Amino acid sequence: MTDPNCLFCKIAAKQIPSAIVHEDEEMVAFRDIAPQVPVHIVLVPRVHCAGLNDLTADLAPVIGRIALVARDLAGRMGIAASGYRLVANCGPDAGQTVHHLHFHLLGGAPMGGRMA
């Protein structure tokens, strides 16, 4: 369920402090320690899963609810109309550095580029 050596498991369990903006039984959302844009929030399931490559069907409901919470947070943070991205990096080419499945909610400034 959780990995005692995993940074985001420890943040979800509040063993490591973070600026939490939402939490419930299934997920935690907290401000990224090195924000790339004015609003940069990381959303994670409480259950440990290394990343999208390890996603299993039983996690599908929580991933859907993470998307709903991301939408609500975008509203709370005032970026619903200006726009935002919800991004999951998977593997080295995508630059994944923490191996606990997570989604970045990014917004508050034009992001330019066309990565997708």
Within residues 5-64, the interface with Zn ion by CB under 5 A covers 6, 8-9, 48
- What is residue 6's DSSP assignment? -
Say if CB 107 and CB 85 are below 8 A apart: yes
One DSSP character per residue, 57-109 reads: GGGHHHHHHHHHHHHHHHHHTT-TTT-EEEE---SGGGT--S-S--EEEEESS
Closer of 81 and 116 to ligand 5GP (Cβ): 116
Closer of 62 and 96 to ligand 5GP (Cβ): 96
* Binding residue (CB under 6 A) for ligand 5GP from 39, 73, 79, 96: 96
Identify whether 99 is a catalytic site residue: no
* Binding residue (CB under 6 A) for ligand 5GP from 21, 42, 47, 62: 42
Under rule CB under 6 A, residue 3 binds ligand 5GP: no
- Name residue, tokens 């330019």: 112
Active site residues: 102
